[in-house]
């Protein structure tokens, strides 16, 4: 029942003293107390009845109301029999804490109010439970065949007044009825869910985003073969879907929780169906990958690409250009999870076109896995590359870019990887022929190794970065890197520590300014003479000459490797 119902019952004779905007709060029970601190007996949602015996002075009202507000009670009803009019200090305290306050006329017994609330709440619960049983039967007979996840979510909305969405582990909306979730909210919910799964918290996971409460239910992928109770959580944390319900399930009865568990099982069937639909694309990618890696003739590879193109891009008039993306998921020491399939599912999710969400065209990527790597074969329509013909090489910046791919999924995936996992991804340039596909694969693998040398849980690198010194640095042995940087930079760090001279920042700014005294001094807000003094000190401490290109390059690399 709602607080508003108390005012609509004339027999109760209640007067509202404050909190008119909060009258739609639900009431889940009633409690009578005159304790100064009744918090241990409160669970939230109660209508608290009090005769005000706890109040000895005006100073007592604020702490009492603060305790009730913290316990999230629905409202406070104060009797007038003891003090006559309700004290103004209590009224003001309730207004400050947005706690609805009612005055109970001395002619009305608290027992009358208690009986009314209990009768209303019990009746609603009985009706709700009976309805849940019937709706559970209807949901179980509707199933994915009756319209997919949207049909199930529509029943949740129409029969139980629950707004719900099916989300991927990156927060992408897979299904939902009515207004969709903002992308930022979906990503936040996915991150909260993944973090809860990794810490072993029991579902449903409850959270609040932008002031709205959500309950998150995992949707296990039953096609993996292992029981959810025994499999390593890392096996599915980056690929399992979730059901986000706009409600706080903390006080739901078991019957309603069972209903939602049934819903997740129905949606898991749809998940398995979509997994099966990816089998053909995965097989195509595997066949092409094997041909490329075994050095097959370009004509044979081109023939397989011609078979793959209509499957991945239906209605395509001309042969597409292709791009290769390599991903790898690494877990900490002692992990026994096979990471190839994990990376494969995750790469498929990352590459889904969000602008085509909910349609078959959203999922047209072929991803294979070999060992610990997942390898995606991405077709690029020629029309999207400026109307080129089959013989023209694509522009250098054509296709997908590493930094864009991970931009919206970095936060939730970082939560799922927690403190023992990493995702690294490499992206090749677009190529226009079968002969170039082997080079694209090696390029993507090199880019992934560059990404792996960077700090962070989720890292990517593209083919643009393979044309500079960045390509070389990841392959320098760690002990060599440490010795090289220590020899050049440790004297400067020690000097900065003792004298606060800021030699390291000065060196970085000097190199970034291409050795220009004027630009560097302006950037650091220093006089040129001060800058010359600092650079002289750097040269004196290291025995190097910053006017020589070789020494500038050594300092540049040392800073990059530190």
pLDDT value of residue 508:
92
Euclidean distance between CA atoms 115 and 168, whole angstroms: 46
> Residue 359's pLDDT band (boundaries 50, 70, 90)?
very low
> Residue 233's pLDDT band (boundaries 50, 70, 90)?
confident
284 and 375 Cβ atoms separated by less than 8 Å = no
Per-residue pLDDT tens for 169-228? 989 898 887 778 898 999 999 999 999 988 888 889 999 999 999 999 998 765 444 444
447 and 427 Cβ atoms separated by less than 8 Å = yes
Mean of the pLDDT values across residues 51-73?
92
Per-residue pLDDT tens for 261-311? 878 887 887 787 777 778 888 888 888 888 888 888 888 888 888 877 777
Residue with the larger pLDDT of the pair 476 and 192: 192
Nearest to 510 by CA among 521, 494, 500, 499: 521
Query: Which stretch of 128-137, 246-255, 358-367, 380-389 has the lowest confidence by average pLDDT?
Result: 128-137
pLDDT at 389 over 60: no
85 and 61 Cβ atoms separated by less than 8 Å = no
Euclidean distance between CA atoms 257 and 458, whole angstroms: 35
pLDDT value of residue 231:
55
Q: Collect all residues with Cβ–Cβ distance below 8 Å to 329 and sequence separation of at least 6.
A: 238, 339, 342, 343, 346, 372, 417, 421, 422, 423
> Residue 449's pLDDT band (boundaries 50, 70, 90)?
confident
pLDDT value of residue 63:
94
Euclidean distance between CA atoms 101 and 18, whole angstroms: 5
Nearest to 506 by CA among 539, 551, 473: 539
376 and 402 Cβ atoms separated by less than 8 Å = no
Query: Cβ atoms within 10 A of the Cβ of 57, count?
Result: 8
CA R_g for the chain: 32
pLDDT at 497 over 60: yes
pLDDT value of residue 419:
85
Q: Give the CA count within 13 Å in the CB-facing half-sphere of 433.
A: 8
Query: Cβ atoms within 10 A of the Cβ of 110, count?
Result: 16
Per cent of the chain over pLDDT 70 is 84
Per-residue pLDDT tens for 17-57? 999 888 988 888 888 888 999 888 888 888 999 989 899 99
344 and 370 Cβ atoms separated by less than 8 Å = no
Query: Among the ranges 77-81, 411-415, 532-536, 555-559, which has the highest mean pLDDT value?
Result: 532-536
Q: Is 527 exposed, middle or buried (0-12, 13-18, 19+ CB in 10 A)?
A: exposed
Our CA angle for 523, 529, 535, nearest 5°, is 75
The overall longest dimension of the chain from CA atoms, in Å, is 97
Long-range contacts of 250-259 (CB under 8 A, 24+ apart): 250/44, 250/206, 251/28, 251/43, 251/44, 251/45, 253/125, 253/128, 253/129, 253/132, 255/129, 255/132, 255/133, 255/136, 256/128, 256/132, 256/160, 257/204, 258/136, 259/132, 259/135, 259/136, 259/139, 259/160
Which residues are bridge partners to 396 per DSSP? Answer: none
pLDDT value of residue 225:
41
Per-residue pLDDT tens for 429-448? 888 888 888 888 888 888 88
pLDDT value of residue 475:
59
Q: Give the CA count within 13 Å in the CB-facing half-sphere of 121.
A: 17
3-state secondary structure 109-133: CHHHHHHHHHHHHHHHHHHHHHHHH
* H or E stretch at 347: helix 339-350
Q: Collect all residues with Cβ–Cβ distance below 8 Å to 214 and sequence separation of at least 6.
A: 189, 206, 207, 208, 244, 245, 246, 247
pLDDT at 129 over 70: no
Q: Give the CA count within 13 Å in the CB-facing half-sphere of 490.
A: 7
Euclidean distance between CA atoms 453 and 475, whole angstroms: 9
The whole-model pTM stands at 0.58
Secondary structure (DSSP) of 489-532:
HHHHHHHHHHH---HHHHHHHHHHTTT-HHHHHHHHT--HHHHH
Query: For the packed helices 110-142 and 149-160, what is the interaxial angle rounded to 10 degrees?
Result: 160
146 and 170 Cβ atoms separated by less than 8 Å = no
Domains present along the chain, CATH in parentheses = 4-118 (3.40.1390.20), 143-277 (3.30.450.30), 279-474 (3.30.70), 478-561 (1.10.10.2840)
pLDDT value of residue 322:
84
Collapsing DSSP to helix, strand or coil, 314 comes out as coil
pLDDT value of residue 382:
61
Mean of the pLDDT values across residues 500-518?
91
Query: Cβ atoms within 10 A of the Cβ of 230, count?
Result: 6
pLDDT at 506 over 60: yes
Q: Collect all residues with Cβ–Cβ distance below 8 Å to 533 and sequence separation of at least 6.
A: none
Which tokens sit at 243? 């059901």
> Residue 495's pLDDT band (boundaries 50, 70, 90)?
very high
Mean pLDDT of the chain: 81
Is the peptide bond prior to 235 cis by the omega test (within 30 degrees of 0)? no
Query: Cβ atoms within 10 A of the Cβ of 134, count?
Result: 10
Collapsing DSSP to helix, strand or coil, 435 comes out as coil
Residue with the larger pLDDT of the pair 127 and 22: 22
pLDDT value of residue 64:
94
Nearest to 348 by CA among 168, 149, 480, 533: 168
75 DSSP assignment: E
């Amino acid at each position: 029942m709602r607080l508003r119902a108390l005012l609509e019952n004339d027999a109760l004779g209640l007067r509202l003293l404050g909190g008119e905007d909060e009258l739609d709060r639900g009431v889940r029970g009633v409690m009578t107390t005159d304790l100064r601190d009744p918090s241990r007996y409160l669970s939230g949602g109660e209508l608290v009845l009090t005769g005000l015996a706890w109040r000895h002075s005006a100073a007592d009202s604020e702490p009492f109301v603060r305790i009730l507000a913290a316990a999230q009670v629905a409202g406070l009803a104060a009797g007038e029999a003891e003090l006559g009019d309700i004290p103004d200090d209590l009224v003001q305290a309730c207004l400050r804490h947005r706690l609805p306050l009612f005055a109970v006329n001395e002619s009305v017994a608290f027992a009358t109010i208690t009986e009314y609330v209990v009768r209303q709440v019990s009746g609603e619960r009985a009706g709700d439970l009976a309805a849940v049983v019937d709706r559970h039967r209807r949901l179980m007979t509707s199933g994915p065949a009756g319209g997919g996840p949207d049909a199930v979510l529509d029943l949740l909305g129409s029969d139980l007044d629950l707004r719900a969405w099916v989300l991927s582990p990156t927060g992408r909306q897979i299904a939902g009825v009515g207004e969709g979730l903002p992308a930022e909210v979906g990503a936040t919910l996915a991150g909260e869910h993944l973090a809860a799964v990794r810490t072993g918290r029991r579902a449903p996971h409850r959270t609040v985003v932008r002031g709205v409460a959500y309950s998150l239910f995992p949707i296990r992928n039953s096609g993996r073969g292992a029981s959810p109770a025994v499999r390593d959580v890392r096996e599915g944390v980056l690929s399992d879907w979730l059901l986000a319900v706009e409600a706080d399930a903390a006080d739901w009865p078991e019957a309603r929780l069972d209903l939602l568990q049934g819903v997740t099982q129905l949606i898991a069937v749809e998940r398995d169906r979509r997994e099966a639909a990816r089998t053909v694309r995965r097989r195509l990618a595997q066949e092409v990958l094997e041909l490329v890696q075994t050095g097959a003739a370009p004509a044979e590879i081109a023939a397989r690409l011609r078979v793959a193109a209509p499957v991945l891009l239906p209605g395509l008039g001309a042969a597409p250009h292709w791009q290769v993306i390599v991903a790898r998921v690494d877990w900490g020491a002692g992990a026994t999870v096979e990471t190839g399939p994990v990376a494969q599912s995750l790469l498929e999710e990352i590459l889904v076109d969000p602008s085509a969400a909910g349609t078959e065209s959203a999922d047209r990527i072929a991803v294979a896995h070999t060992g610990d790597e997942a390898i995606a074969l991405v077709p690029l329509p020629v029309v999207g590359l400026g109307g080129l013909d089959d013989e023209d090489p694509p522009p250098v910046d054509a296709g997908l870019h590493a930094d864009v791919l991970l931009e919206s999924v970095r936060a939730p995936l970082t939560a799922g990887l927690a403190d023992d996992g990493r995702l690294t991804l490499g992206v090749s340039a677009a190529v226009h022929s079968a002969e170039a596909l082997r080079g694209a694969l090696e390029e993507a693998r090199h880019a992934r190794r560059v990404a792996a040398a960077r700090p962070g849980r989720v890292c990517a690198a593209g083919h643009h970065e393979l044309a500079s010194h960045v390509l070389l640095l990841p392959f320098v042995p760690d002990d060599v890197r440490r010795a090289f940087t220590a020899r050049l930079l440790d004297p400067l760090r020690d000097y900065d520590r003792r004298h606060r001279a800021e030699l390291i920042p000065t060196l970085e700014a000097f190199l970034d300014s291409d050795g220009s005294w004027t630009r560097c001094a302006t950037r650091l807000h220093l006089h040129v003479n001060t800058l010359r003094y600092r650079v002289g000190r750097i040269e004196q401490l290291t025995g190097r000459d910053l006017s020589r290109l070789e020494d500038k390059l050594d300092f540049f690399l040392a800073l990059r490797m530190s």
